[in-house]
A and B are shown apart, each in its own frame.
Chain A
Amino acid sequence: MMNPTSILLIKVLFVFILGTAALIIMQKSLASLFSLYSVQSLLMAVVSLVLFKETGSYVLLSLAILTVITKVVIIPYMLNKVRKDSGIHRDSEFRYLTPVSAILVGIALIFVSYSSFYRVFQLSQDNLFFLGAVIGVSLALLGMLVIISRKKIVTKAVGYLMMENGVLLFGLFIAELPFIIELFIIVDLVIFILLAAVLSMGIDSTEEDLTRKLNNLTKWFKQ
């Protein structure tokens, strides 16, 4: 029922998304990490646009716009600001998993989610949507892998964002939630990142510094 080109396009996009995920797992430079994230988010927006084209649901369109505004622009900007403020530019420590093994585990994860989703959804969804859901969950799990294997809080935050992207992808292909809910989720995400950013600076700065930054947060709260 879907346009074959769209299907092809979406599959290509899936590959790219997974590719960005793999790069995020490996990337040591924070600046590139953030760029990768915005690329991934952009790809997500494209996916939802393609789907919008196919289904005509305006929720998808607004979702795409929202994604571009927040995840491609605002959040990477904020993260970059934190990077500059804190003076941390690289996160070269890996825990539990080396980048290579992380990728291998990632492949295993895709298989895991595939196999278990297959048994549940086998009768209810057609192929592409099923694949999308699997990729979404895998992306979420890969994001968790980033949180596990990277040391710096900022990197962990990126991992969290990647997880969120996975959830979004999953939602796109299974059932998009009402827009108001999606909006709230995004707002929540922004606040989360803000907090994580402030806290990550707190970890590496002195106490006075932290108080000052907290006061900034207070001002933000007051507005």
Chain B
Amino acid sequence: MLLFAIGVGLCLLSALVTLCFVSRNNPQVRKAALWLTIAAGLIFIFQSVRIALTDQSLNYTFTQIAPQLQFTFLIDRLAAFFILIVSIVTVTVAIYSLRYVEVSTSGTRRNLFIPLMNIFILSMLFFVASANSFAQLLCWELMSLSSFILVMYHYEKEETRKTGIFYFIMTQMSTIFLMLGFILMYNATGSFAIAASPFLTAGTNTLIFIFLFCGFGIKAGIIPFHKWLPYAHSSSPSNISALMSGVMIKVAIYGMVRYVIFVLDPQLWWGILILIAGTISALLGVIYALKEHDIKRLLAYHSIENIGIILIGLGLYIIFDSYGLSDLAFLSLAASLFHTLNHAIFKSLLFLTAGSVVEETGTRDIEKMGGLVKTMPFTAALFLIGALSISALPPFNGFVSELMIFQAFFSAFSIPNPYVVILLIICLSLFALTSALAAACFVKAFGIIFLAMPRSEKAQHAHEVPRAMLIGPGILAFLCIGLGVFSFQIFGWLGFKPPMPNLLWVFLTLIIFLIPTLIVMRKTTGGKIRRSGTWSCGLPAPDSQTEYTASGFSEPILTFFKPIYKTDKILIRNFWDKYDSTFKNGQAEIKVMKIFEERIYMPIANCVRYLSQKVSGAQNVDLDTFILYSFITVIILVLAVGWIL
């Protein structure tokens, strides 16, 4: 406990230090503060690993702030696991920020960045560690608040303004759902404690589940609540995107896991609901990602996809559990949690490296990048590792968790209900599609960003980023490989034996095969390579104009999924004469519709806007009308009281 307290203290100190010098532009202070954060993160890693390995939970009551409420903390294995996720990403992001903060913007605004980041991290930590829902709600709000301000970091950009309002409303919506769930729970059990209670009936449980699912779902970015995610991730600074995508949405997953498993009594249909939501999120997430050419939005859509995968694991857990298949249930849950960790790692890695790229090229449009592998080789290699992990390729970590989910799916036949099995098979095929599309998408992303020739002036003159911005992601890349290769052993240390291949052997085998191949190749070529122009059918030397573009790359897949991308045709024609015979000018445009935005979000927003205009119009009148309002109310009151009594 003491160590945790020290860690928290270090974070707070880091925040305070920068706040004290908030009006001075002193890089040394910022650096010192970030080092404090890194130290705190290391402490958290140490402690949470210890708890995860020894399975001794920590329990602590902090303070009683008012009659019914207090802060109590309980760090059990699950919490420790999520704390580990938070702190790993924290450490690497903080290392990355050592330089990124100095590079990305100027002015004293940077000073606010560090305290806010610390608060953001601490609120996530405390959310995970809280043993009562009141404290959780508080941390949840703090998390929303600090992340909102961080998203508004580049506040003068038009894009950020839009994002800000959108993000804020969505976070508030999620808070409201959580509040509903927590209030229901409090009123049913009489306490905020996060624990199963005999007072919770099946009906209440279901209501609470629905509220919490929506609340956490919004934060996690489940489709159809996902729309804030691409916006918020793309307009915030890259290290914050990494934190948000790597950790914040995981915190929502933690909430879901915690409540569904430990507090509420799950029913089969919850599992099915979660499974379907997960599958849809995964599939649509990746399909939208394919279409996206903004690197950070692309990554954000992949976050939606991966959240979907995590939810698939969770859904499978509930389904298997409700049939009493505890081994399979455990496998699914382990897969889901492991994927949570993996996604945190490789997604942070991708966001950080993408941030470096964006910083260097000054654009987020991948069509304007290209050829960066030559100017930024290390960043490219790191991004490649992230891309391979997220594409679930062996022996990287992403593969392990997806493998476990596949195995859980393959065991669906143990379920006695054939309808559920059919559902699982359908979800399985969609899941397979998802994972293959993700691979395609990352071939596109890596290929277009880093390979071939630069597509713009700025991409041509990019430089490798400073060392700190490589070390941070470097650690993550190392973890990507380590967690994949040693996955079998890691599960062993934790005391689990999931049925899965030992990737260490696979890895060793690969190396064994590599050695003779290398020898053969050395013998034959002597290591000499001749460089020559690319073959171009005899045409003049190809330039960046003739390269395959990102849109070209994803075009065939988009054609296959045409029904999902609804298009809008805009046709405007003007004529010189009134008989429409002499064409003057015109405009034709086909654009991809943002279905969720245009069919769900905007109608609701417009409805609210319309109502509010009516309401406020009724208040923009003169005194007579105001008195009339009072008059009518008085009459109604008099009548109501007279007649009701």
Chain A residues with CB under 8 Å of chain B are: 95-96, 109, 112-113, 115-120, 137, 141, 144-145, 147-149, 151, 156
Contacts and interface: CB of A to CB of B under 8 A. Distances in A.
A141 B628 CA distance: 11
A80 B199 CA distance: 73
Given A147-B627, A148-B627, A149-B624, A117 B634 contact: no
B643 A141 contact: no
Interface in B617-645: 623-624, 627-628, 630-631, 634-635, 638-639, 641-643, 645
A116 B624 contact: no
Q: Which DSSP category, helix, strand, loop or mixed, fits chain B's interface?
A: helix
Given A141-B634, A144-B634, A145-B631, A120 B624 contact: no
B624 A112 contact: no
A95 B635 contact: no
Contacts of B623: 156
B635 A141 contact: yes
Given A112-B638, A116-B642, A141-B631, 19 more contacts: A96-B624, A115-B639, A115-B642, A115-B643, A116-B641, A117-B642, A119-B643, A120-B641, A120-B642, A120-B645, A141-B635, A144-B630, A144-B631, A147-B624, A148-B624, A148-B627, A148-B631, A151-B624, A156-B623
A51 B627 CA distance: 33
B645 to A, nearest CB: 6
A112 B642 CA distance: 9
Contacts of B631: 141, 144-145, 148
Contacts, number: 42
A196 to B, nearest CB: 12
Contacts of B627: 144, 147-148
Contacts of B643: 115-116, 119
B618 to A, nearest CB: 15
Contacts of B645: 119-120
A199 to B, nearest CB: 12
A59 B125 CA distance: 71
Interface of B: 623-624, 627-628, 630-631, 634-635, 638-639, 641-643, 645
Contact of B642 (A119, A145, A151): A119
B474 to A, nearest CB: 71
B634 A116 contact: no
Given A95-B624, A96-B624, A149-B624, A116 B639 contact: yes
Contacts of B638: 112-113, 116, 137
Nearest to A109: B635
A151 B625 CA distance: 11
Nearest to B642: A116
A113 B639 CA distance: 8
A149 to B, nearest CB: 7
A137 B628 CA distance: 17
Nearest to B638: A116
A116 B635 CA distance: 10
16 contacts: A95-B624, A96-B624, A112-B635, A112-B638, A112-B639, A115-B642, A115-B643, A116-B641, A119-B645, A120-B641, A144-B630, A147-B624, A147-B627, A148-B624, A148-B627, A151-B624
A118 B639 CA distance: 11
A140 to B, nearest CB: 9
Nearest to A114: B642
A123 to B, nearest CB: 12
Nearest to A147: B627
Nearest to A144: B631
A95 B627 CA distance: 12
A105 B641 CA distance: 20
Most B CB atoms within 10 A — which of A96, A112, A116, A144? A116
Most B CB atoms within 10 A — which of A113, A120, A148, A149? A148
Contacts of B635: 109, 112, 141
